[in-house]
Structure 1
Amino acid sequence: MDGIVIIGAGECGTRAAFALREAGYRGSVTLVGAEPHLPYERPPLSKPVGDAVQMKLICASDTLAAAGVTYLNGLSAARLDAAAATVTLSDGRLLPYEKLLLATGARPRRLACAGAARALDFRTHADAEAIFSHVAPGQSVAIVGAGLIGMELASVLRGKGVTVCIIEAAPKALGRAVPARFADKLHARHAAEGVRFHLNRSVAAIGEDGVVLSDGSILPADLVVSAIGVQPEIALAEASGLATGNGILTDACLRTSAPNIFAAGDCAAVAQPGGGHIRYESWRNARMQAETAARNMAGAAEIFAAIPWFWSDQYELGLQVAGQPQPAHQTVLRSAVEGELEFYLDNGRLVAAAGLGIGNGLAKHIKLAEMLIAASISPEPATLADPDVNLKTLLKSARAA
């Protein structure tokens, strides 16, 4: 047997390597990562300590060695031959495999305007170092994209005394993933900090001194950062003939269209019970899909059915969202000492919850809400809205029922 090869050494790929051992897999495990570093977590990149970008390692080299994981860093997969069950690496070596996990993640979307090469991305440790090493109090940064990444970066830069403007082609900030109520509150918080928003406008060109917008106005900027989202990294899978769409298509067990090849994390689009495929982009999703894929590669047949969850820290505020809130859902607002919660009902059933408050103060409420969602309860809206009704009590009642 040739063992298991994992392409991608981010949170997903690295966690899968360890999860294979926890599942009892005793064959060889090879982890291939394109970056020169040991595997590290991405969320801390936006939270520098002083002037230093954090590199929070997922594991140390001796931890990998102790688990019997061979780590090949600074290498990428140049070719996948699914029929021959081999991967050719960028240095020319050939890796045969018994089973393969594609944890290739996602890459930043690119601006298509004149001078786009002047804009910096914000995805890797090298990207973060390039940004934070070029900013100082009194300088100005133009961020293209008012999504979570752009807004989080703006909050950090304002804390460093950097002037920030955000350019967004959509009519509002945080319009894609964040519930409207909390998107508006975060927008207002940024505006109060002096962040200037230029909505409903795109970038026509980027020059040495700043950005030219689609309406002809010019924004001076010492630095331009592109934060317009990511695309799943599917080139390797696509070239090898695997089924792809908005990601590498998998079944509910994270198996791709080729025998013995699995996909997980930001690159995977997972089949849904009602039809279609969904791709999730979050730290916890990458970790949980990694664990499911690892157990299935080790011989299980688990269906991936975790509730989507993400968080975002901006200034002193912490946002958490569990499930997938939709505009059509009935919304129920609940006040809390730490902030505000909003619940989302679909035909009476609780399907999502979100909270915005100081720091991590609402985490316990969102965790309980997740459990309530998993229990498929249909609570009375007035009960959900009442801050005197403990969510833990609701959960106990649901479990008893």
Structure 2
Amino acid sequence: MTSGRAVVIGASHAGAQLSAQLRSSGWDGDIVLIGDEPYLPYHRPPMSKTYLADTVGIDDLLIRGTEFYEKQNIRVRRARVERIDRAEQRVVLSDGESLSYDRLALCTGARPVRLGIPGAELRGVYYLRTAEDVEAIRADVPGSRRAVIVGGGYIGLETAASLRKLGLDVTVVEAADRVLQRVTAPEVSDFFRRIHEAEGVHVRTDAAVVGFEGDDGTGRVAAVRLADGEMVPADFVIVGIGVRPNVELAHEAGLAVEDGIVVDAQGRTSDPRITAAGDCVTYHDVRYGKTRLESVPSAGEQAKVAAATMCGKETTISALPWFWSDQYDLKLQIAGLNTGYDTVVLRGDPTTDREFACFYLRAGDLIAADCVNRPQEFMFSKRVLAQSLPVDRGALADLDVPIASQLAAVRSKTTP
């Protein structure tokens, strides 16, 4: 089917890609992209970096400009969807309007996990996800000296780096015994802690936040209270402790939901007229099993597949998951998922250097890699993982064996 009306809920990375891909895949009917932010779809990774630092404007971050949507005859509707009526094939908007659809795509993304502790509603306590979140934080920076970041994951550490560049005194508070505990090996965690402390960030681990204390005169946050009773002074606080997929619309419409909206390899939900893509989706990855990814590249891949499915074409979600994080002069590039690794191989010395690679192996096979300022190791890892090729553990760790020669060897094995 390539005619009728296609409705895309969510002006996210996935939503922007899916609506554009629909046109290039042959959809010649109406396309309506619905988003509840006041902007066209924009790149979100810079929110904790260049946008927070106020070195770029929102127009610089738009995935596509107004002229693209006009030229492609994609209608962008700024509204919130309240309900999906599958029986009538309609979506009901918050302003009372309803839109019929022949095909529907859910690209509803995710939202920050919020802290339900005393003082969480004080002014000056922020979450960082949208452009409006960042604009509120930026407004506080000029009159502030001390910032506390709750959460030592990627978003927390990226934000810490940005705020240090702006000259603030920054404390990162993490409840686990190391930063990045859920996503990296201890060696990588220790590296990032070393770098941040060298840059002047105070890193507190094994430190549970139990409340925020306010300034009685202003109603603003003034300190972060830890479980041991310590009070960490703060002019403002940014909470970054993870996200939850926005699955409520799908769940209320009776679609299958397990952590995310369940889709098959073609991006179809349990209703064949409805697809889904992005951070809100759970699917079976051919390499890693049941997966929900919070990744811009994966959102784009899923969106392309879902758009093809909506146009009656058969493609599958198969691209290797990969991610990145920018902190100071460091570019971390991650290939694959390290869940279930049993061995770590280091290339370079993360205790002294500012560049190295950490390879994750399971039963001798490479399953993931963290590459800091090591683009060749990243490309090598992507190629090995994509082709399920064997690796030489000794050569991986040996800096005298150029990774380029190992990459050449891998390529030769894949060349007919």
| TM-score, normalized by the shorter chain, greater than 0.5 | yes
**Bigger shift: 373-382 or 229-238?**
373-382
Q: Per the alignment, in what secondary structure is the counterpart of residue 254 of structure 2? A: coil
1:99 paired to 2:103: yes
Correspondence 1:181 to 2:187: yes
C-alpha distance in 1, partners of 2:415/2:363? Answer: 22
Instruction: Give runs of aligned pairs for residues 183-332 of structure 1, distance below 5 A.
Output: 183-208=189-214, 209-273=222-286, 277-326=290-339, 328-332=341-345
Are the structure 2 counterparts of residues 286 and 274 from structure 1 closer, same or farther at C-alpha, using a change threshold of 3 Å?
closer
1:105-135 Cα offsets, whole Å, 9 max, x none, are 0011010101112221100001011112201
Give the TM-score normalised by the residue count of structure 1: 0.93
Query: What whole-Å deviation, never above 9, does each CA across 1:305-364 have from its counterpart, x for those lacking one?
Result: 22111111111111111001245333322249982122223233322222112xxxx234
Q: 1:338 to 1:295 in 2, by over 3 A?
A: farther
Matched, 1:346 2:346: no
SS at match of 2:127: coil
CA contact (8 A) 1:47 1:53 kept: no
Among 376, 384, 399, the alignment partner of 2:396 is 384
The answer on whether the counterparts of 2:157 and 2:327 sit within 8 Å (CA) in structure 1 is yes
Query: Which shifted more, 264-273 or 321-330?
Result: 321-330
How far apart, CA to CA, are the structure 1 residues paired with 2:228 and 2:368? 38
**CA deviation profile, 1:72-117 (whole Å, cap 9, x unmatched):** 12x1110001222111111111111111110000011010101112
Unaligned runs of 5+ in 2: 215-221
Which aligned pairs between 1:80-159 and structure 2 lie closer than 5 A?
A: 80-118=84-122, 119-136=125-142, 139-159=145-165
> Who is 1:399 aligned against?
414
Confirm or deny: 8 A CA contact 1:53 1:128 kept in the other structure. Answer: no
Q: Does 1:334 align with 2:336?
A: no
| 1:355 is the counterpart of 2:371 | yes
Instruction: Summarize the Cα distance change of 1:338–1:140 in structure 2 as closer, same or farther, 3 Å threshold.
Output: closer
Matched, 1:372 2:384: yes
Please state if 1:170 is matched with 2:167. no
Aligned equivalents of 2:201 and 2:398: distance in 1?
Answer: 35
TM-score normalised per structure 2: 0.90
Question: Equivalent residue of 1:177, what SS?
Answer: coil
156-165 vs 199-208, greater mean Cα deviation: 199-208
Matches of 1:335 and 1:164, distance apart in 2: 29
Question: Residue 268 of structure 1: CA displacement?
Answer: 0.4
SS in 1 for 2:142: coil
Comparing 386-395 and 88-97, the one that deviates more: 386-395
Output the CA distance in 2 between the equivalents of 1:106 and 1:112. Answer: 18
Whole-Å Cα distance in 1 between the matches of residues 41 and 398 of structure 2?
A: 44
The Cα of 1:51 is off from its aligned counterpart by 4.0
Q: Match of 2:347, as an amino acid?
A: R
1:70 and 2:72 matched: no
Cα distance, 1:222 vs structure 2: 0.4
Q: Measure how far apart 1:201 and its partner are.
A: 2.3
Q: Could you tell me how far 1:396 is from its partner in structure 2?
A: 2.1
For 1:353 and 1:255, the matched residues in 2 are separated by: 30
Within the candidate set 34, 37, 41, 2:36 is matched to: 34
CA distance in 2, matches of 1:112, 1:338: 37
Q: Secondary structure at the match of 1:231?
A: strand
Deviations 1:117-164 (A, max 9, x none): 222110000101111220138610111111100110001101111011
Deviation at 1:236, TM superposition (A): 0.6
Q: How many angstroms does 1:255 deviate by?
A: 0.9
Q: Structure 1 residue 379: deviation in Å?
A: 2.1
What's the RMSD between the two structures over aligned residues? 2.1
Report the residue type matching 2:201 in the other structure.
V
Q: Is structure 2 residue 72 aligned with structure 1 residue 57?
A: no
Say which of 10, 21, 24 aligns to 1:22. 24
Q: How many residues align?
A: 396
Q: What is the deviation of 1:365?
A: 3.0
Aligned to 1:8: 10
Q: Structure 1 CA distance, aligned partners of 2:334 and 2:342?
A: 15
* Percent of pairs with identical residues: 38
* CA displacement 1:29-84 (0-9 Å, x = unmatched): 110011011111111222336645632111111110111211112x1110001222
Closer, same or farther: CA 320–301 of 1 in aligned 2, 3 Å: same
Distance 1:139 1:349, change over 3 A: same
CA contact (8 A) 1:318 1:356 kept: yes
Tell which deviates more after alignment, 336-345 or 180-189: 336-345
